[in-house]
Structure 1
Amino acid sequence: MSFITFEGPEGAGKSTQIKRLAAKLENAGRDVVLTREPGGAPEAEALRALLLDKDRSWSPTAEALLMNAARDAHVRARITPALDAGKTVLCDRFSDSTIAYQVGVDEAFLRALQTAVVPRMPDLTLLFDLPVEVGLARAEARGAADRFEAKGEAYHRTVRERFIAIAAEEPERVVIIDAEASMDTVEKAVTEAVNARLPGLLGEPHGHPPAP
């Protein structure tokens, strides 16, 4: 059982890469659970709709509380049962995003919420990093920006800095991926990171046994 999270700013390409890694893991015979935050469980998806709604205005503290309420439901209903069953869990965003995005909330308070809600931190976190202006341009090209994407460059520069700080504090868990590269180059970096940090997880693809 392995728990891998995908983190990073807007437009970093996490959704594409998490699907590619899931396909590789399934090809290696792993039972994969692909999930996301906020969301991943019915109660958490309901809170996601509230959190991303551009017509609502939440304080940073309210955001942090709602995010962790959603995470609590997600962890209990989906992540923990999957890991207990020996499955590999890939999650698009997790608690690092709350630390990075809830700018203006005391970090000690955010860490206390994390400790209360998260019984197990990821085995590996892939942090997809790229310049803020590039990420926002990619997000804008997708259309229909959510409430976080619409917060402006200054806010997102702070988010990027906070993600980088997390990686510096926990290098044994977090691997920075250059998300400005091509999708195939990023995929290769993801594969290399998984093989280096979780050796054997990807195994040998079906139909291609090791050479004698």
Structure 2
Amino acid sequence: MTGTKGLFVSLEGIDGSGKTTQARLLAERLREAGREVVLTREPGGSPGAEEIRALVLQGDTDRWSAETELLLFTAARRDHLERTIRPALVRGAIVICDRFADSTRLYQGLSRGNLRGAVDTLHALMIGVEPDLTLLFDMDPELALSRAKARATAEERFEDFGLGLQQKMRAGFLGLAAEFPERFHVIDAGRAPEVVAQDAAAALEARA
């Protein structure tokens, strides 16, 4: 993210790929090394964005159209950017964010229609920034879905779309990695968490 002193890192992948665990492990490692780290997530990461999170991640699969979801996610992201991400970067912190705009490019832009152009246009108008580094945790969609469903939380609206969506999203994420190779680093997330964490830390150290 140009014009700042910090480093903005996003973690992406299909549901159940271990992003949240890896975000926590990476933050712990950096803090032990003496770095200021802001560990955050999307949707969410600020009070207003967390309220929107409850709207989009809970309820029936047909609760919102893809177009409405796009507007809700963008509103949450704008609040998150203003109140959490940008202030942290300005003071030199490392921001580790569990999902960012790439998830919207796929879950709303690809999953239920051809809205990628609308996603990118709205992102350019209202957000205008990309992470410095995106770690993509790649794994088998069937295994990831079983992991995600085993969590048994209230936030399972996207998991309820089933294996077909997981497969489509995996292909979409790998497509984004090919589209933006200077920003993406793909990590095999099907291995032991500590091995995956080593790869994530090495990728960040190479970019920092």
TM-score (ref. length: structure 1): 0.90
In 2, Cα distance between equivalents of 1:117 and 1:133: 35
After superposition, what is the alpha-carbon deviation per residue over 1:75-125, rounded to whole angstroms, capped at 9, x for unaligned?
Answer: 011101111111111100000000111121421111111112323211100
After superposition, what is the alpha-carbon deviation per residue over 1:26-57, rounded to whole angstroms, capped at 9, x for unaligned?
Answer: 11211111100000111101100000112461
* Aligned pair partner of 1:183 in 193, 198, 204: 193
Percentage of identical aligned residues: 45
RMSD: 1.2
After superposition, what is the alpha-carbon deviation per residue over 1:1-44, rounded to whole angstroms, capped at 9, x for unaligned?
Answer: 10001110011111111111111111121111110000011110
Matched, 1:12 2:17: yes
SS of the residue 1:147 aligns to: coil
Alignment partner, residue 162 of structure 1: 172
TM-score (ref. length: structure 2): 0.92
CA contact (8 A) 2:17 2:138 kept: yes
- Which consecutive aligned stretches of 4+ in structure 1 deviate over 4 angstroms post-superposition? none
Alignment partner, residue 137 of structure 1: 146
Query: Mapping of 1:51-200 within 5 angstroms?
Result: 51-55=56-60, 57-102=63-108, 103=111, 104-144=113-153, 146-198=156-208
Alignment partner, residue 39 of structure 1: 44
Alignment partner, residue 30 of structure 1: 35
User: Gaps (5+ residues) in structure 2?
Assistant: 1-5
What is the Cα deviation at residue 181 of structure 1? 0.7
Alignment partner, residue 201 of structure 1: none
SS of the residue 1:146 aligns to: coil
After superposition, what is the alpha-carbon deviation per residue over 1:118-152, rounded to whole angstroms, capped at 9, x for unaligned?
Answer: 23211100001111101001111111351001101
Q: Match of 2:121, as an amino acid? A: A
CA contact (8 A) 1:60 1:105 kept: no
In 2, Cα distance between equivalents of 1:142 and 1:106: 30
* Aligned pair partner of 2:26 in 15, 21, 27: 21
Q: How many residues align?
A: 198
CA contact (8 A) 1:11 1:135 kept: yes
